[in-house]
Copies of this chain bind each other. A is one copy, B any other.
Amino acid sequence: MFTSETYIARRAKLCEKVGTGLMLFVGNVDIACNYKDNTYHFRQDSSFLYLFGLQIAGIAATLDAETGEAVLYMDELTMDDIIWMGPQESVSDQAAKVGVTKVLPKAKLADVISAAKDREIHFVPTYHAETTIRIANLLGKSISEVENGASLKLIKALISMREIKEKCEIDELRKHMAVGRQMHMAAMAMAHEGRTESEIMAMLDRISLMNGQPVSFPTICSVHGETLHNHSYKNTLKKGQLLLVDAGSESPLCYATDHTRTSPVGGKFTNQQREIYQIVLDANNAVAAACEPGLTYREMHLMACRIIAGGLKELGIMKGDMDDAVMEGAHALFMPHGIGHMLGLDVHDMESYNDTLVGYDDETTRSTQFGLSALRLGKRLREGFVVTDEPGIYFIPALIDKWRAEGLFKDFINYDALEQYRSFGGIRLEDDLLITRHGCEILGERIPIEIDDVENEVNKDTYHNK
């Protein structure tokens, strides 16, 4: 359970790691959609959530690495706030929940920062220009100085803490996996001719929202699974197509789920689909079976790629030595992305800090090879990591044509055999794994993934008349 002690302990540990200077955490503000007062749903900054827990817009905090003093900058409600937004708890009660006893009015933050002008001020990278401008004003720096001025020491300290999930975080994640599962079960039950991508996406959105929070990232729900981040929902499903759904929900405390399943529209895979599906499933299962502390996720990625390449060789799509093919990157025509990423408060956990700092370290460097370069997590696994396991096989006509025209990897790819897969689409299968002491655990009850089980779910057709 998250208690005030959770936050007090995290802040104490962070102070110890950072050692000197004053840390400034500017929470997110409400972000305008098409004018200032018409806002997107409020999402607190993840660093702020991790250290100060409060899902309130426009507040800030300081944490003194030397004295350990934590201060929240919040204003009491006005009568206008009550009329428009309803009665709320007092700021001191809210601060007490996250173990903070000192609360100052927002306007005092500038004085506090100004008084610390001779000290080192640490802040994390920003992703809202509103926050960049605010920090620039507070510190008397230019926009580009703030854009380039985040504290590497603070970033590294936070990564080292956030990458190892605490018991309360694992409990929250594990519990919320049920909502992610419900979303995917609904999508399977709706994978029928005549339904639209948009109505299925809308149903998943509803399931997430009614369980407390919006989806954790824009849902991918497409009969064109070969487009990796497809956010268009214009198609009507046709029998025989594959529906790829990559979707997750945000938990009440803002932890993300992230799963992908691929279903046969109408409930029956074709033989061609079944063959490709089984290769992807084998790769997914092999990663879950192999993961354990001490192995690098780069190894897991390459193992999955070898399984995919081997499977495609058996089908006559690839040829030659598959170890060589994977080493040279020929398989990336079919799997141009990485096997997975960290998961936590962010669906690509901590990506706002810089994904290479999160996924690599002194021992592992990020590749520049097409495909492997997209792997967000390459470093050694540790107990308490939560990662996604998401192999896929895609047939991307534009990429196939380009490689063929350039004569790439002719020794490994049988371009003629590929022709019959041109309109295949794509398959991806994704689970969320918790790295345990001696292996890993698929978080939550596993969403149906075996061929027969997926066909069964689709055939239940539960949403038939809804």
Please provide the chain A residues from 118 to 160 with a CB less than 8 Å away from any CB of chain B in the complex.
Answer: 127-130, 132-133, 143
Contact with B along A214-251 (1 / 0, CB 8 A): 00011000001001111110000000000000000000
Query: Chain B residues with Cβ under 8 A from A168's Cβ?
Result: none
A39 on the B face (CB < 8 A): yes
Assess whether A209 is in contact with B218, with CB atoms less than 8 Å apart.
Answer: no
Please provide the chain A residues from 181 to 224 with a CB less than 8 Å away from any CB of chain B in the complex.
Answer: 196, 198-199, 201-203, 205-212, 217-218, 224
Which of A76-84, A269-277, A286-294, A445-453 lies at the interface with chain B?
A: A76-84
Query: Chain B residues with Cβ under 8 A from A352's Cβ?
Result: 34-36
Which of A3-11, A40-48, A59-67, A304-312 lies at the interface with chain B?
A: A40-48
Query: How far apart are the CA atoms of A199 and B346 in the complex, in Å?
Result: 24
Query: Chain B residues with Cβ under 8 A from A201's Cβ?
Result: 209-210
A347 on the B face (CB < 8 A): yes
Closest to A219 in B: B209
- Given A202-B209, A398-B82, verify A36-B129 contact (CB < 8 Å): no
A466 on the B face (CB < 8 A): yes
Residue from B38, B132, B202 within 8 A of A206 (CB atoms): B202
Query: Chain B residues with Cβ under 8 A from A33's Cβ?
Result: 40, 43
Query: Chain B residues with Cβ under 8 A from A399's Cβ?
Result: 79, 82-83
Assess whether A40 is in contact with B40, with CB atoms less than 8 Å apart.
Answer: yes
Query: How far apart are the CA atoms of A348 and B39 in the complex, in Å?
Result: 12
Assess whether A127 is in contact with B203, with CB atoms less than 8 Å apart.
Answer: no
A336 on the B face (CB < 8 A): yes
Closest to A213 in B: B198
Query: Chain B residues with Cβ under 8 A from A203's Cβ?
Result: 206, 210
Query: Chain B residues with Cβ under 8 A from A199's Cβ?
Result: 210
Please provide the chain A residues from 349 to 387 with a CB less than 8 Å away from any CB of chain B in the complex.
Answer: 351-352
Query: Chain B residues with Cβ under 8 A from A230's Cβ?
Result: 85-86
- Given A199-B210, A227-B84, A228-B83, verify A346-B132 contact (CB < 8 Å): no
Assess whether B202 is in contact with A336, with CB atoms less than 8 Å apart.
Answer: no
A402 on the B face (CB < 8 A): yes
Closest to A198 in B: B210
12 interchain pairs, CB-CB under 8 A: A31-B40, A34-B352, A38-B348, A84-B227, A85-B227, A85-B229, A132-B133, A198-B209, A198-B211, A201-B210, A202-B208, A205-B206
- Residues on A lying within 8 angstroms of B by beta carbon are 31-41, 43, 45-46, 79, 82-87, 127-130, 132-133, 143, 196, 198-199, 201-203, 205-212, 217-218, 224, 227-232, 336, 345-348, 351-352, 396, 398-399, 402, 466
* Closest 3 A/B residue pairs (Cβ): A129-B129, A86-B227, A202-B210
